Every structure is written in structure tokens, then in C-alpha cells.
Amino acid sequence: MLQRLAPAKEPGLAGAVRPLPNRRNPMLLAASVGLTALGALIAWQLYGVAGHRTPVLVMARDVPIGQELQAQDLRPVALGLDAAVQALDASGKSTVIGRRAAVDLKAGSLLSPAHVTDALVPAPGQVIVPVALKPSQLPARGIQSGDQVMATAVPAGSAPADHPARVDRVGQPDADGLVVVDLVVPATDGTALARQAAEGKIAIVLQSRAG
């Protein structure tokens, strides 16, 4: 019996699946381009910071507020800094030596112009009186170093007393919520203010910050 032969199939074509058309999602394409651009921008910024290092001054050891800075207190370090960061250039080290620490300076910290001063606190004829105050004895907006204030005392059995003062430092609240404020006052007022502060009968009046 004769059999009809099926046409022979070419090798490699049996069961072959035609590839789907190459269609790209426009949103995925845009996202890919955006991520590539973002990565390039970040890399450029990191390269720019790392490649432009500035020699600046950092603290080699702790220096308490008011103490004169010595050469051994400072060391130069090359850092990549943002332009907004305030720092003292290492080339000006000689201009810093002999000036005083305006705040407590810690080893390893970056030295900025605001950290040094030529003023001695307290100056001759002045004293610093620590006053522990409750939140209700302070302005709600708070006070800060340099503020001109009036320490108003109302001691029991005595006439009220006003003491013009300047805020030197403001401490952090303790476990009882009390804030210790160091006030710079004339030496003639120091003893009376300290006695009134011990009685807890003092409120701080904030004067204008203008000028």
C-alpha cells in the first residue's frame, strides 16, 4: 500500500517559537534614564568633595571655655568640606594661638571662627553667678548665650531687686527640670544675686535682641 509522505521539515524549525516584537515600556525607559542620571550626579558630587580637600584646624585635645589656645592644642587636617561649613584654614594657625576658647572645645572637633574669642569672661570687675531656674522662671522662647537680661529677685521679707546681666551659658535641664544659667554681672552685684538665687526667688526678663 502506498503511503503519502508528509513534507520533510527543515532541521531546527520543529516547534520553533517566533520571538515577540521588542516593545519597550516608555515609563520604564524614562525611569532607567533618570536613575542613570542620578547615579552620575551623586558620583560627580562625591568625586568633587573628595578631590577638593581643604587644610583646616581641628582640636588635638580638650580645651575648656575661657582658656587660651596653644600650638599643641591644634592640628591641621585636610578635609572635603561643603562651602557652607565654617572652618578656620590651617594656614591661619598662628592667628588663633593666644586667643581664648569661646565654648568648651573637644578633641577631634572642627574649629570654627565662632569657637574663639579675644574676650575674657568674666572680665575684670565682673563675676559669673549660676542661677538654677524652673521653666516658669524663663521666657517661653528661651534664652541663649549673649542675651542681655534682667534678673529680677523677690526675696522673702526684702525689697525686690533687679540685676542687669548677660547670659554666658545655658545648661541642659536636669532630672528635676531645673536649668542652670550662668549670668555675668558686676562684681558688686554678685554676692546679693547668688544669695537670692539660692532662695529660688528669681525670674529672668529677656531684653531686646536688637542691636
Summarised one tens digit per residue, pLDDT across range 115-138 is 888 877 888 899 999 999 998 889
> What is the pLDDT, as a whole number, of residue 46?
57
Residue at 34 is within a domain: no
Q: Check whether residue 200 and residue 130 sit in a common domain.
A: yes
| Residue ending a domain, choose from 117, 136, 153 | 117
Give CA–CA dist 159/150, Å, rounded.
16
Please report which residue ranges of the chain form alpha helices under DSSP H.
Answer: 26-51, 93-96, 187-198
193 part of a folded domain = yes
Is 45 contained in some domain?
A: no
101 and 148 part of one domain: no
Pairwise CA distance, residues 156 & 161, whole Å: 12
Domain's final residue, options 84, 117, 150: 117
Please answer whether residues 167 and 145 qualify as being in contact, where contact means their C-beta atoms are separated by less than 8 angstroms: yes
SS3 per residue for 51-70: HCCEEEEEECCCECCCCECC
> Does residue 145 sit in the same domain as residue 100?
no
51: left (phi over 0), alpha (psi -120 to 50) or beta: alpha
**pLDDT for 146 beyond 90:** no
Name the residue range of residue 59's domain: 54-117
Place of cell 572642627: 110
Q: Count of domains in the chain?
A: 2
> Do 143 and 175 fall into the same domain?
yes
- pLDDT exceeds 70 at position 88: yes
Q: Are residues 105 and 164 in the same domain?
A: no
The CATH number assigned to the domain holding 148 equals 2.40.30
pLDDT at 23: 57
User: Per-residue pLDDT tens for 28-73?
Assistant: 656 666 667 666 666 655 555 555 677 888 889 999 888 889 999 9
- Whether residues 147 and 85 share a domain: the answer is no
* Plot region of 93 (φ>0 → left; ψ -120 to 50 → alpha; else → beta): alpha
pTM exceeds 0.85: no
